[in-house]
Amino acid sequence: MFVCILDKEEGKGGGGMETKKKKEKVSFVFCLIKSEEKVSGINMKYELRATLGTGSFAVVKLGVNRSTGQHVAIKQIDKKKYQAKCKSDAPDGFKNEFEILRNINHKNIIKLYDVFETEETLYLVLEIASGGDLSQKIVQQKILSENIARKVMWQLLCGIKHLHDGKIAHRDVKPENVLLKDNDSWEIKITDFGLARVLNLDQGTLTTLCGTPLFLAPEILSSHKLGLFYIYIHICICICLLIYC
Active-site entry in 78, 172, 184, 202: 172
Q: What is the pTM of this model?
A: 0.71
Closest CA to 62 of 150, 125, 15: 125
In this structure, are residues 64 and 51 in contact, taking their beta carbons and an 8 Å threshold?
no
38 is in an annotated binding site: no
Amino acid at the residue 17:
M
- Number of H helices and E strands in the chain, helices first, is 7, 11
Secondary structure (3-state) at 63: strand
The reported pLDDT for the residue numbered 56 is 81
Burial bucket for residue 46 (CB in 10 Å: 0-12, 13-18, 19+): buried
The reported pLDDT for the residue numbered 10 is 46
Superfamily the domain 42-126 falls into: Phosphorylase Kinase; domain 1 (3.30.200.20)
Say yes or no: do domains 42-126 and 134-244 share a fold: no
The CA distance from 180 to 187, in Å, is: 6
Q: Write down the domain spans for the chain.
A: 42-126, 134-244
How many CB atoms are located within 10 Å of the residue 157 CB? Answer: 15
The reported pLDDT for the residue numbered 92 is 61
Superfamily the domain 134-244 falls into: Transferase(Phosphotransferase) domain 1 (1.10.510.10)
The reported pLDDT for the residue numbered 81 is 85
The reported pLDDT for the residue numbered 82 is 80
Instruction: Give Cα separations from 139 to 28, 134, 175, 242 (angstroms).
Output: 66, 9, 11, 10
In this structure, are residues 169 and 163 in contact, taking their beta carbons and an 8 Å threshold?
yes
- Spell out the per-residue pLDDT of the chain, length 245, in tens: 333 333 444 444 545 444 444 444 443 333 333 333 334 589 999 999 999 988 888 999 999 999 999 999 999 999 888 877 665 555 566 678 888 999 999 999 999 999 999 989 999 999 999 999 998 998 888 778 889 989 999 999 999 999 989 888 887 888 899 999 999 889 999 998 887 888 775 555 555 555 555 555 555 555 555 555 545 565 676 777 677 65
The reported pLDDT for the residue numbered 27 is 39
Active site residue 172: yes
Find all residues with CB under 8 Å of 206, minimum gap 6, and list them.
169, 171, 197, 199
CA 121, 126, 131, 136 dihedral sign is negative
